A and B are shown apart, each in its own frame.
Chain A
Amino acid sequence: MRFHHTTLDNGLEVIAELNDDAHSIAAGFFVKAGSRDETPELAGVSHFLEHMTFKGTARRDALAVNKDFDRVGAKHNAQTSEEDTFYHFTCLPEYLPRAFDVLADILRPTLREDDFETEKKVIIEEIRMYMDNPMSVAYEAAKAAHFGGHPLGNSILGTVDSITAMKAEDMRAYFASRYSPANIVLGFAGKGDWGQLVELASNHCRAWAGDRPTREARPVRGRRAFEAILREEDLQQTIVGVSDGPPLESEDRYAAHLLATILGDHTSSHLYWALVDPGYADGAEISYQDYNQAGGFYTFLSCEPDDVDDNLGRIAEVCRDAMAKGVTEEELAQAKNKVLARSVLRSERPMGRLASLGFHWVYRRAYLPIEQELEAFSRVSVDQVRRLLREWPLWPMTVVSVGPTTEIQPPK
């Protein structure tokens, strides 16, 4: 593995982790633009813009964008989160110049008016698709309830109303403010030649211009709210809980990830044994999510409507028990084995490496080799987990319930 980085004159940073054993190369632009960067009137603009980049540039219409990726067998996609928009592809090394020509091209989209109106309809269909999924509804509502007016509570997709009312010129202004080269990191992982990568980056991206935007990342503590949303047509009840956790700037994020694994991994965790194994719920998990200056432990539950109170009681007990007693050496060792093996498996694919490499660079301006990441997990002690639980108590948590009943009494 060889790591390289450089910064173009316009501020675009380029990083690469190269591996001669790989069969492919992954490339991606990490744009620091997500739903937390939006005003209420522009709810969903980051995600809508992600769609619009694929709709055409000065050199290509939408069909040409898709065709030019597909012609060289490049597997391309993009994702928008609360904080980032990530555009990426994986292809065979010999096709890198052609695939990269498309990816760099679409980062300077035309944002044409008629494409904008057509794509609105697609976004609205995507919103409706998620509205048919109880877990998505509960997740969005839980974030909003927990973070209150803080921008981390914003919806990634926006609403049918905010999308319908949106104007192309507003999106253009948003693009100009967030897609400047100094707000973007370009990453590569896999089989490649650094000299060629720098040349590609320079040829395609050096003309990009724009100011250096700032993000107001205010720290936030959640509200421990409760909300019950009625969906009479559902059979199961779906619940999402949120409590605060360490932010991504904190070294405690490794301990937080291990704690979530011990308490709420999908298999063989405290919640698994307390709820899933006995058949009380068909899903009960906890995961840790870190953000810029904030963090959260998310609890997910799916069960029969009549059993919600009992199951919330069981979840509260698992959380309180951990807060009182911490975790054992044995549990911690087991969680480390799980997490280490999963990291190794994920990192075998260039795309797996690119994502962790790129986001780490965006927020920490540092290279994190896989060995160092594994080392950081290995170093976590039971004392550190105990301290983490004191600083970030898991219970009480924000609880949002979605389903056929609203008669729910979360335990105190």
Chain B
Amino acid sequence: MPAQTATIQQHEYPNGLVLVAEAMPGVQSASFTLLIPAGAAYEVAEGLQVGGGAATMACEWLMRGAGDRDSRALLNDLDDLGVSHSESAQTLHTSFAAATLGANLIPALEIFADVVLRPRFEDEEVEPIRSLCLQNLRSLEDDPGSKVIYELRRRHFPEPWGRPSPGSAEDVARIAPKSLRAFHRAAYRPNGAILGVAGAIDWSRLRDAVGELFGRWEPRPEPRLVETPAGPKLDHIARETQQIQIAMAAPAATVAGPDYYRARAAVAILGGYSSARLFTEVREKRGLCYSVYASYEGQRNRGAMLSYAGTSTERAQETLDVMLAEFARLADGGVDLEELDTMRAGLKSSLIMAQESSMSRSNALASDWYFLGRVRPLDEISAELDALTPESVSGYAKTLLKPGELTILTLGPTPLDVKLPA
């Protein structure tokens, strides 16, 4: 890989907040990703039990006025600073991501410090938020491709690690403002929060400014989550759609675990790019569908391979059969060197190209820190990829795709016949 050693620096503040930042040469913008362990999973923390959708509603409420600014002033000031921003609750985290010109980074962080620490939480905002969240849930019902992935994750990961952040209409309809305030008090905490910053930055100014802005954020005890089994492993959701959605998941290595790179390699070779096996066998050779892929999802204590295809009713059975046959072929026959080299070239190129975008880097910094407590340098990742052999990846593939561990969900007019190899 070309020597482009960016400077990565980090600092942990006394309240536990971690700042991890990278100065990127030749970039005018600066971006940040603030990850707070306040995702939908924490809605069911012990003593909290606030209902599905609370994390999303709380996140929306935060943006409707904070510190000296009401809802309108807050969004206007972000516009004036040219800040592109998105805030959302996911399963594990609520994230606040923003990108702007380097000079406006610290003023943008000032606004977000108000959002996280000093939300106005005005009661009259709750009913509009409720209506918005209920409508989002209805729109999700009209979007079969997204719906099936949320429902797959819910069935595959042990509860609460697959909780869909949009929640449920039943819960969203009844969540009270005081529950949202309680959720914010318990879940929004600096211990466990990570701020990744990348782009045109001045490290020492940034470190001091973040200390000023977030230093008085009070640590809180980590909420306790109780894990319970999910399921069912095989399921169908009936819907009168044009296409049947097929979604599958299998357990895979964690990001911090010794098998991480082998897992990423196996999943990519299965369905990560256009000459990967699923695309070649399902789409190119047989013309069975437009969209088919496999991807990796990491959490701290578990990882997963997720795979998806959408196709017409009359082709869905064959599509599923071919996908399962490809899973079996990967587990039984392993991978060859050519496939491994292709996978390496793709992953390495993506990593280098990510160096051109402050947004993707700030996100990678925060995510690496979450999983590993450090940021992996590019040459370390490169060396790990180079160390993979067809034998090591094939060995891992055998453990990845055990038929008994698959979760399979279909959505559409008719269920399919799932023929798992013995």
A59, chain B: closest CB distance, angstroms:
16
Whether a CB of chain B sits under 8 angstroms from the CB of A63 is yes
B310 near A73 with CB under 8 A, answer no
Q: Is the CB of A72 within 8 A of B138?
A: no
- Tell me the chain A residues, 108-133 only, with Cβ under 8 Å from chain B: 118-126, 128-129, 131-133
Q: Are A125 and B349 in contact (CB under 8 A)?
A: no
CB-based contact A122/B287 at 8 Å: yes
B101 part of interface (Cβ distance < 8 Å):
yes
Decide if B301 is an interface residue (CB 8 Å cutoff): no
Is the pair A119, B287 in contact by a Cβ cutoff of 8 Å? yes
A236 CB contacts on chain B under 8 angstroms: 135, 138-139, 142
Q: Would you list which residues of chain B between 96 and 140 have a CB under 8 Å from chain A?
A: 99-101, 104, 127-132, 135-136, 138-139
| Chain B residues whose CB sits within 8 angstroms of the CB of A67 once the complex forms | 275, 342
Complex interface: chain A residues within 8 A of B84 (CB): 338, 341-342, 345
A21 at the interface (CB under 8 A from B): yes
Choose one: A24, A128, A280; the contact of B243 (CB below 8 Å). Answer: A128
Contact B355 A23 (CB under 8 A): yes
How far does the Cβ of A171 sit from chain B's closest Cβ, in whole Å? 16
Check A122–B290 contact: CB distance below 8 A: yes
Interface size class of A (residues with CB under 8 A): 35 or more
**Which residues on B sit within 8 Å (CB–CB) of A70?**
273-276, 342, 345-346
The 8 A CB mask of B339-356 against A (1 = contact, 0 = none) is 001100111111011011
Chain B residues, Cβ within 8 Å of A238: 142
Asked if A337 contacts B243 (CB within 8 A), the reply is: no
| A268 interface residue per 8 A CB criterion | yes
Also in contact, A281 and B352, with CB within 8 A (given A71-B342, A348-B28): no
Whether B143 sits at the interface, judged by CB under 8 Å, is yes
Chain B contacts with A in 149-180, Cβ cutoff 8 A:
none
**Cβ contact within 8 Å between A121 and B287:** yes
Q: How far, in angstroms, from A121 to B357 measured CA to CA in the complex? A: 37
Q: How many residues of B contact A (CB 8 A)?
A: 78
Task: Give the complex CA separation of A131 and B75 in angstroms.
Answer: 35
Query: Which residue of the partner chain A has the closest CB to B319?
Result: A125
A282-B134 Cα distance, complex, nearest whole Å: 9
In chain A, what residue has the closest Cβ to B312? A128
Task: Tell me if B284 and A279 are in contact (CB < 8 A).
Answer: no
In the complex, A35 Cα to B84 Cα: how many Å? 33
In the assembled complex, which residues on chain A have CB atoms less than 8 Å from the CB atom of B357?
348-349
Instruction: List, in ascending order, chain B residues with CB within 8 A of A31's CB.
Output: none
Q: Which chain A residues border B355 with CB–CB below 8 Å?
A: 23
Q: Are A277 and B353 in contact (CB under 8 A)?
A: no
Separation in Å of the A326 CB from the closest CB of chain B? 19
Within 8 A of A (CB), among B3-18: 4
Whether A348 lies near B29 (C-beta < 8 A) is yes
| Distance in angstroms between the alpha carbons of A345 and B104 in the assembled complex | 13
Closest partner residue, chain B, to A190 (CB atom): B356
Chain A interface (Cβ < 8 Å from any Cβ of B): 21-24, 62-63, 66-67, 69-76, 90-92, 95, 118-126, 128-129, 131-134, 233-236, 238, 267-268, 273, 276-283, 302-304, 333-335, 337-338, 340-342, 344-345, 348-350
Q: For the complex of A and B, list the 3 residue pairs with the smallest distance between their C-beta atoms, beginning with the closest.
A: A341-B82, A73-B349, A279-B131
Enumerate 5 A-B pairs (CB-CB under 8 Å) in ascending A order.
A23-B352, A24-B349, A66-B284, A124-B312, A341-B81
